[in-house]
A and B are shown apart, each in its own frame.
Chain A
Amino acid sequence: MNRTRISNSKAFLVLLGISLLLTLLGAWAALRIESGGHILTGMNNSVPWGVALTLATFLLVAASGTLNLASLSSVFGREAYKPFASFSALLALSLLAGGLFTLMLDLGRPKDVFLVLNHFNAASVFSLNIVIYAVFFLLVGLYWLLTIFTPQGRGTRVFGFAAFVWRIILTTGSGCVFAVLAGRSALHSALLPPLFIALSLSLGLAVSVIALYKAGIASERPFAALCQEDTARGMGNLLAILVAVTFYMAATLHLVGLNSPPVRSFERFVLCSGGIFPVLLWGGFVTLGTLIPLILLLVPALRAWSLRLPAAAGCVVLGSFALMYTLIITPQVYPPEIFPGKIVEDVFYGTPATYEATALEWFVGLGGLGLAGLLSLFGMRVLPVLPNRFQPTSSQ
């Protein structure tokens, strides 16, 4: 077997402690909000979905994307990535649990969340996504167990393929939550689900790289002991392609918007005049999340830098969050086009809303990240999930 457990090192305990702290902070913040009301958050009647929901969506999209490495081995037959399959599936399960944790804590009545099961509305994308998440848990969970307990990997191809198809459905479902909102012209686009899929692929790979790097630190082993140089280079090249595809999809969304009369003024807002949002889009997504990673990954002179891959992955994660934030928050801040061609003299209907997330809201969002960390570290500690000194292969 070319996989191992994470060791009980000091670094592991520190990472575990941070994850536990974030999870507890998230739960505490949710309890405070539940007793004191959402007035303790920065959300309001114009911006009902804030940073916690953005982080929840971010984690759910990342969960789908972290299956990249598993799909490369089980669906596309890349043997070099086989040792990462189990690690990849564990990350996907942990991130999904984290995302759902935050999604639940962000509700006005978290205790009543199970009403979704008792009073299921099949017409709602929100409800359908609950089913999609449950099936994802089942498929990826079975796939994960097969990668661990069947030495020859029997059944992994079937479940790996099923999980691959389902992850596409999951990300499409997450994108559709926003894309089906006909009343919000800025969101109502068929380009949104494919953009979510592209984002999940690049973000998921970046998260996998960072998690692998952190696992290396926690198990007190160099990155090279977990990931062979050729494989790391392959991951870097793949990340560069996926980052470029995500940028292409996002650019297409905004270019189409600029040429669509109902969305044009919104596009001007998000691209130029919208205060923090253009800064996040150009500075966060385009510069930090696209240009810098592409330079880091593709410029030959930087290949010798050992931290090139994790640094690029970190930039992709931050840039992806900036994109997600602008995608979800900006259409809420921007006033809806109820009266096209008219000047509306009303603060609620006529001017951009204000939104500033409070610390409690951030805690709720980061609680999901903490839970994802906690679950993945626990999984890596009790089961042989982490790749270990795998042998070079010629099939990369």
Chain B
Amino acid sequence: MNSVFSRRVFLHAAACTFILVQGKALGTAGKAFAATPKTRWGLIVDARRCANECAACVDACVRENALHSHDRPATDARWIRKVRVTDKTTGFVSRFPVMCQHCASAECVRVCPTGASYRREDGLVLVNRHLCIGCRYCMLACPYKARGFVHEKTSKQAPGSPRGMGTVEACTLCVHRIDAGGRPACVEACAKAGHGAMLFGNFNDPTDPLAKRAVAFAVTALRPELHTDPGVRYQGVTP
């Protein structure tokens, strides 16, 4: 019993140290957040500000989560993809990134046989790699085709993004950064590139810039007919 207790204490201390070190490394104030229902983390992507030929968000995600390419696009891990869509009638072109939409009513969570796909109290939809048996049903169920499967062995993993061959994964909204009080890497890279097309924040806090923008402007969800209530909303995109 003692040894179990010691191990638990050790793991707890290690986790706390990791979070603090991460927070410091990210340049945040080290203010850690606990997942609570008071928070609904989300993103607003402003397609009007998403620049042509810019892939800063995609590159940042690859770097942050160590999603090394094997030059096999069909199986390579990509948690965020930039698309360019043209309206067939009007010819209006918009560009924006698509990633896990962190739905409140997530299909992946509903269909997962082991509960490996789960939704945290703060709205983040994640995969517990220890419970994932690799059935890939969630990939089929995701209306946004946002999930990927780890098809081959991984190497040089990022400390904040554990990955495992034979399991399913998707954008975590950089949960390790959020828990350390930071922002997702894609959002930071977009701001750094001078576009500011991605806004991260808490939908449940009326004083948060994200919530203010959601109230002030028409932000839309992808595939609203499915009632998934996504945590990622778009500005300048018509569904």
- CB contacts (< 8 Å) of B166 on chain A: these are 34, 37-38, 107-109
Q: Which of A113, A115, A125, A347 has the most CB of B within 10 A?
A: A115
Could you mark each residue 175-189 of chain A with 1 if its beta carbon is under 8 Å from any beta carbon of chain B, else 0?
Answer: 001001111100000
Most chain B beta-carbon neighbours within 10 Å: one of A120, A124, A343 = A124
B141 A183 Cβ-Cβ under 8 A: yes
Interface residues of A in 104-124 (CB under 8 A from B): 107-110, 112-113, 115-116, 118-121, 123-124
The contact of A109 among B81, B133, B143, B153, by CB within 8 Å, is B133
Find the B residue at minimum CB distance from A347: B73
11 contacts between A and B (CB under 8 A): A37-B165, A39-B72, A45-B75, A45-B149, A124-B111, A182-B143, A183-B142, A183-B143, A183-B144, A339-B83, A345-B84
> Would you call B74 an interface residue if the criterion is a C-beta within 8 Å of the partner chain's C-beta atoms?
yes
Q: What CA separation (Å) do A381 and B218 show in the bound complex?
A: 71
Interface size on B, residues (CB 8 A): 52
Contact stretch, chosen from B27-35, B86-94, B192-200: B86-94
Q: Which residue of B lies closest to A182 (CB)?
A: B226
B145 within 8 A of A: yes
Q: Is the CB of A181 within 8 A of B153?
A: no
Question: Would you call B187 an interface residue if the criterion is a C-beta within 8 Å of the partner chain's C-beta atoms?
Answer: no
B115-A119 in contact (CB<8A) = yes
A332 within 8 A of B: yes
What is the bound-complex CA distance between A349 and B85, given in angstroms?
10
Instruction: From A36, A45, A127, A177, name the one whose CB has the most chain B CB atoms within 10 angstroms.
Output: A45
Cross-chain contact B111 with A126 (CB below 8 angstroms): yes
| A-contact 0/1 string along B104-128, CB 8 Å cutoff | 0001001111111000000000000
Which of B110, B137, B226 has the most A CB atoms < 10 Å from its CB? B137
A142 contacts chain B at the CB level, 8 A cutoff: no
A116 in contact with B141 (CB, 8 Å) = no
Query: Contacting A342 at CB < 8 Å: which of B87, B114, B152?
Result: B87
Instruction: Say yes or no: A46 contacts B87, CB within 8 Å.
Output: no
B-chain residues with CB within 8 Å of residue A34 when the two chains form the complex: 166
- A44-B74, A348-B73 known; 8 new pairs, CB 8 Å cut-off, are A37-B153, A39-B70, A39-B72, A121-B114, A126-B111, A338-B145, A342-B85, A345-B83
Asked whether A115 lies within 8 Å of B85 as measured between CB atoms, the reply is: no
Contact between B85 and A107 (Cβ–Cβ < 8 Å)?
no
Q: Say yes or no: is A283 at the interface (Cβ < 8 Å to chain B).
A: no
Which of the residues A49, A180, A339, A353 comes within 8 Å of B136, measured between beta carbons?
A49
B131 adjacent to A119 (CB under 8 Å): yes
**Closest residue on chain A to residue B91 by CB atoms:** A343
Interface size in chain A (residues, C-beta < 8 A)? 51
Q: Which residues of A contact B112 (CB under 8 A)?
A: 121, 124, 126
Cβ contact of A338, chosen from B73, B84, B144, B168, cutoff 8 A: B144
Question: Any chain B CB within 8 A of the CB of A336?
Answer: yes
B134's nearest neighbour on chain A, judged by CB, is: A108
Contacts of A39 in B (CB 8 A): 70, 72, 75, 151-152
Residues of A within 8 A of B98 (CB): 338, 349
> In the complex, which of the residues B86, B137, B223 contacts A345, with contact meaning CB atoms closer than 8 Å?
B86
Chain B residues packing against A (C-beta within 8 Å):
70, 72-75, 78, 81-89, 98, 107, 110-116, 131-137, 139-145, 147-153, 165-168, 222-223, 226
CA distance A379 to B174 in the complex (A): 55
Contact at A343–B85, with CB atoms within 8 Å? yes
Residue in chain B with minimal CB distance to A37: B152
Q: Are A354 and B134 in contact (CB under 8 A)?
A: no
Task: Give the chain B neighbours of A182 by CB distance below 8 A.
Answer: 107, 143, 226
The CA-CA distance from A182 to B135 in the complex, in Å, is 18
Binary B-proximity of A351-363 (CB < 8 A = 1, otherwise 0): 0011000000000
A37 contacts B137, CB within 8 Å?
no
Cα-based distance from A182 to B105 in the complex (angstroms): 12
Residues A344 and B85 in contact in the complex (CB < 8 Å), given A39-B152, A107-B133, A121-B114: yes
Looking at the assembled complex, report how far the CB atom of A219 sits from the nearest CB atom of chain B, in whole angstroms.
40
Given A39-B72, A48-B136, check contact A349 B145 (CB 8 Å): yes
CB pair B143 A108 closer than 8 Å: no
Q: In the complex, what's the smallest C-beta–C-beta distance from A335 to chain B, in angstroms?
A: 8
Question: Do residues A342 and B151 form an inter-chain contact, with CB atoms below 8 A?
Answer: no
Q: Return chain A residues, CB-CB under 8 Å to B134.
A: 107-109, 112
Q: Known contacts being A37-B166, A183-B226, A345-B86, is A336 close to B143, with CB within 8 Å? A: yes
Shortest Cβ distance from B129 into A: residue = A109
CA distance A39 to B74 in the complex (A): 10
| Contact, CB under 8 Å: A339 / B85 | yes
Contacts of A349 in B (CB 8 A): 81, 83, 98, 145
In the complex, chain B residues whose CB is within 8 Å of the CB of A44? 74-75, 151
> Do A48 and B167 touch across chains, with their CB atoms under 8 A apart?
no
